[in-house]
Amino acid sequence: MKFSTLNPSTNQVIEEYSYYSLHDSKEKIFSINKGFVKWKKTNFSERSAIFYSVAQLLREKKEHFSRLMAIEMGKPLLQGIAEVEKCAATCEYYAKNAESFLQPQSIPTEAYYSGVVCNPLGTIFAIMPWNFPLWQVIRFLAPTLMAGNTAILKHAINVTGCALALEQCLYEAGLPEDVFAVVLCDHPTAESIIGMREIAAVSLTGSTRAGKRIGEIAGKHIKKCVLELGGSDAYIICADADIDYAVEQCVQSRLINTGQSCIAAKRFIVVPEIADTFTEKCTTLLSQKTYGNPLEGIYDCGPMARHDLRDELHTQVQQSVQQGAQCIIGGYIPENKGAFYPPTLLTEINENMPAYHEELFGPVATIIRAKDENHAIEIANSTSFGLGGGIFTEDRERGKYIAESLFQSGACFVNTFTKSDPRLPFGGIKESGYGRELSHFGIMEFVNSKTVWVQ
């Protein structure tokens, strides 16, 4: 069966591909699983040399990859280049640190020897989304392969060109072809792959709905999985915050990747003392933001990745307005072929609206008025999600306390917007998933921490 990729700016066909059959997918997995036997015996210096080469090639090809992302899912070019640079830095981070992260540990007991060694699990199946076509893959792949595992990637079909280009880049850097492979498969085939005994574990980045399904299948087969799912990140603006700076950071976070980021700022929660000023300044700044085809100019936003995603977002906006939300700017579908949606701001939000309790995966910001700071924290936590969030206050110690002790999320940033960093763990709680990526926490997800006791 064939499928096509579409340019979301023009709605024109980019390329046509064929799905792998279940048989062909399994043959590829058999090959990668055989490759694990050899790959796990390689030393860290061999693996590191390859990932240093991957980093170098990514930087050499960054304009190519940036353009490819712009064509396949609408990412603004400068953001695409930044994504490639981040991928390269992460490859270097694990090339440098993987060995020390996984060093055997001797733990004194009454035994002659007792300790822990970290062994790779086997072939890991990754199911990745379209919104950061390179970063989501490298974030998983660098620690997973550096730990001695092999991997299979099922990428989102609308970024198939990115998946295949990245695969080729890895091969050019010296990665053996039986260590990693892309499988072009549909959802039923992907679900069958999870159950194969050659698959040791699963990593999914995607929607909460997808996470529930993949978690169910992995659980049925008693397989470890890491789930990085959706988010509705709240940003609390305290009375003593630098309002201009807070507005700039909130708007920047909300519009990164045209708002299609799980850790984008989505709910701006303001206390009464600064609510009017924040709303006014936020409206002004959002009104200045531009959108358009990333190959035709420098814009703050490109198109959304697909028309159905744009239409779903617009429905959420319309339903919220029908239930009393005020649409200050944006909130309409432009008259052109692309999957564009303008930067949009909703106010007068209450808990009965989609804009309050659902993830708005696009360039739509919401302002929620709290009674006071404690109420703001309560609102921030009154969601099924728990990925990231932020607090803006001049009292850093107070902000630190709220972030550490009161904010329910996998990450909380004070006086800046939430971002991922290879040196720090990344992941969520509640319906934002479980498990961690990045840092030494990430590389430990797909190893067997084995106790060794010698009497």
Flag whether 280 is in a domain: yes
Task: Report the helix count and the strand count for the chain, using DSSP H and E.
Answer: 15, 18
- What domain count does the chain have? 2
Exactly one of 72, 92, 167, 228 is catalytic; which is it?
228
Flag whether 210 is in a domain: yes
pLDDT in tens, 187-232: 999 999 999 999 999 999 999 999 999 999 999 999 999 999 999 9
Query: What is the residue whose two structure tokens read 């498990």?
Result: 435
pLDDT in tens, 127-150: 999 999 999 999 999 999 999 999
Are 399 and 250 within one domain?
A: yes
Strands 150-155 and 113-120: unpaired
Exactly one of 262, 301, 327, 412 is catalytic; which is it?
262
Nearest in space to 158 (alpha carbons), one of 359, 263, 261, 16: 16
Look at residue 432 in the predicted model and tell me its pLDDT: 98
Residue 392: CA atoms inside 13 Å, Cβ hemisphere, count? 26
CATH number of residue 145's parent domain:
3.40.605.10
Are 299 and 169 within one domain?
A: no
Are 252 and 216 within one domain?
A: no
Radius of gyration of the chain (CA): 23
Are 205 and 89 within one domain?
A: yes
Of all residues in the chain, what percent carry a pLDDT higher than 70? Answer: 100
Longest dimension (CA), the chain: 76
Cα distance between residue 281 and residue 7, in whole Å: 34
Tokens of 57: 């090639």
| Residues of the domain holding 369 | 233-414
Confidence band of 412 (pLDDT split at 50, 70, 90): very high
Which pTM value belongs to this model? 0.97
Q: What is the mean pLDDT of residues 93-101?
A: 98
Are 212 and 262 within one domain?
A: no
Q: 3-state class of 22 per DSSP?
A: helix
Active site residue 83: no
Cα distance between residue 21 and residue 3, in whole Å: 13
Of all residues in the chain, what percent carry a pLDDT higher than 90? Answer: 99
pLDDT in tens, 302-329: 999 999 999 999 999 999 999 999 999 9
Helices (H), 61-76: 62-73
- pLDDT exceeds cutoff 90 at 118: yes
- pLDDT exceeds cutoff 90 at 336: no
Flag whether 424 is in a domain: no
Are 263 and 347 within one domain?
A: yes
Are 270 and 197 within one domain?
A: no
Look at residue 366 in the predicted model and tell me its pLDDT: 98
**Cβ–Cβ contacts within 10 Å for residue 119, how many?**
14
Are 202 and 263 within one domain?
A: no
CATH number of residue 357's parent domain:
3.40.309.10
Query: What is the residue whose two structure tokens read 């739509």?
Result: 364
Q: Where are the beta strands (DSSP E) in 216-292?
A: 224-228, 233-237, 265-270
Flag whether 136 is in a domain: yes
Are 193 and 249 within one domain?
A: no
Are 334 and 261 within one domain?
A: yes
Confidence band of 257 (pLDDT split at 50, 70, 90): very high
Are 370 and 435 within one domain?
A: no
Tokens of 22: 């279940």
Active site residue 87: no
Flag whether 387 is in a domain: yes
Are 240 and 224 within one domain?
A: no
Dihedrals phi, psi of 174, to nearest 5 degrees? 110, 5
Q: What is the mean pLDDT of the chain?
A: 98
